[in-house]
Chain A
Amino acid sequence: MNNPIGQLNKIFDSRIRIGIMSALMVNEDVNFNDLKALIDVTDGNLATHLKTLEENNFIKVEKGFIGRKTNTVYSITKVGEKAFRAHIDALEIIIKGLN
């Protein structure tokens, strides 16, 4: 039997990245400020984690404008959705396996 802990994705080790992925799983897209309020992090911190997820092709970034203000929205990619589901499955197996 392979070890479920080995199935956990290292990229989702951080609470902030888990938060971003969770929000994007259930919404078509979410903008930066809504993510910030939802996960309760600083701008810089959130931006760093978003960058990591983007570099891994887990999320898509679209820069737009509302009037003159920039409005950057984030959405999940197919790859990201698959990876995140696998991560949740692994978490579940760990919990069930130890009961």
Chain B
Amino acid sequence: MAASWPENPRLITTRITRLDGMAKASGKAKYPSDMRPEGTLFGVMLYSSLPHATVKSIDTSAAEKMPGVKAVVVIVKEGATLRYQGDDIAAVAAETEEQARDAVRAIKIVYEALPHAVTEAQAMAADAPVVVKGGNVKKGRASTTLEKGTETIDAAFAKAESVIEGTYSVPVITHVCLETHGLTAMWDGPDKIVAWASTQAVQGTANELAGRFQIPVSNVTVLTDVMGGGFGSKFGADIWGLTAAELSKKAGKPVKMFLDRIQEHLAGGNRPSATGKIKLGAKKDGTLVALAAETFGTGGVSRGAQFPLPYVYSIPNTTREHADVFVNGGNARAMRAPGHPEGCIIMEAAMDDLADKLGVDPLEMRIKNLAPKDFRTEIYLEEIAIGAELIGWKAKRKPRGKNGNGPIKTGYGMALHQWGGAGARDKQVTCTINPDGSVELRSATQDIGTGARTVLAIIAAEVLGLQPTDITSNIGNSTFVPGQASGGSTTTPSMAPPALNAVTQAMEAMFAKIAPAVGGAAADLSLKDGKLLVKGEAKMSWKDACRKLGMTSITETGKFTDGLSAGGVAGVQFVEVTVDIETGKVRLKKIVAVQDSGLIINRMAWDSQVSGGVIGGLNYGLFEERVMDPTTGQMLNADMELYKIAGASDMPEIIVHALDTPAMRARGVIGIGEPPTIGTAAAIGNAVTNAIGVRVTQWPMSPKNVLDALASASNQGKA
């Protein structure tokens, strides 16, 4: 019989401390960048200092003779085009990091500088230098949807009783992983590699290493016990990982290669920018009639700047044109809910602006335009009601610009978001019950900071009547049975079903084996509070029962089965801010995040995930921006000083509310990593606008952007 989630769980849905929490907090946990096997060399990458250039020549002879240098690898050929500051050229491995850096500086590169375009404006100019063949602007699929009886989008807008037009923009931001990208590679003989990698995909990374060096993947072991954040940017070995392995092969010693903070900003990935020129029309009561959108964004030299629009709301007539703009900047990479934060910002800003023009409550306007046939609509209604109560929307919020005469203005904003978060159906977990009573789960997934290790242990402990600390949750090893790569909020919904099945199968196998020895049929046995029960009566301890297994452990492999997980979540966030209109400084006072995600396995980790998502979102809303210098083509804030993110004193009160109802639990497990980071920046922008009475069209809500908006409105006589 297929396993199912318990109706009255003992551990699942409760707050469980992470198994590796103390090790992480105390520094005992070893991150991949902490790993230094005996004889480890330090690898350093040489990257382009120019935003666009041709490599005329590379001379590594001086570097190879430098003290401590053991290997040099040239990545690009002479004549190659370098397309952004940070583009990889060569690498050195030496006995110390300082020696490797000295040697990298000794590599002689002759560049031919090429004209560059590092901003969208530069790249879209008529006389722009060519960033990529085929043009710097690549148009995406244009789409138009019209309701029956409406011939054109103009005819649709003619039915609207109020229309707003606005342009909203959000800049490129980088992932800012606290542990930078990289790995430590160690060869074991001529055809075996062990790599300690900071990755979201141990098996994907192993496959790439095996493929590059033409060795069997079974000869590659990628280990990720813990890791310091990826946010979508760490799938695979990357050029620096492959280069580390090549340097290691040449030097005959392990090589540790992790990007420095500058290169992490330049080449470790980014979330594309987004700009939307929006026209949105509605009836007097706020019912949306039509949307026309022209959007663009840049993901550097790669594509990927598309985003969903319209977002969340049902609009009968829409037209959309989008263009990806190529600039001389590092590749975009997937970043926590790719596309959704951008789409949410642009849609929700336009919604608030139209509500303000109509004089209707933006909360009521959102409710009015929820998609009637979407299962999420009922969830949104419930979440909006809860969130509005927690922020005090009805009691405290005033219409835009009606927030008193003093310089400090208080404002409120909100935003809705949605995500998928369904699991992949092809992953496995093994469960081993040993005669000494120890229990081990194994799978080639990894814990990217979300608490995945603890989730698996909770499931096992729930089934076996044990505590999570009784379970060894062994993940982060590419040689184990296939586990889920951690992206798209899919890890828990992919891994929880096979974990439940593996443990249930192992328990049943154990019962079948020990039943004769404990005086009952297998069907009479059960487990509770660390004891074996026969016909409901405690017979012996768990350990004593396991001893009845004799000399052989039981190992079962669980696979995915339907009904244990699902996909599709809603979510709403409310924000309270104060804005000093003399300095432009925004202070966050309170953020309310109301979120659903089906059955919650570990409420403590779930709360942390939502809080973390909100914190990521408030960084996007208030601080983060990659600043490129149009003249030199350099990133001006490729560090942790001028690339702003929030500190402790910037944190507001964050209220996390789980929509944890019987109906939600019945849906099964759904991922939570991405949804709570989507709506925060949009809600912050709307709160700032509500406070000061003027739309700030450019994110982040920095003092400059706030003051620019106030000045612009003042010049137009609006403020």
B partners with A: no
B binding-site residues for A, Cβ under 8 Å: none
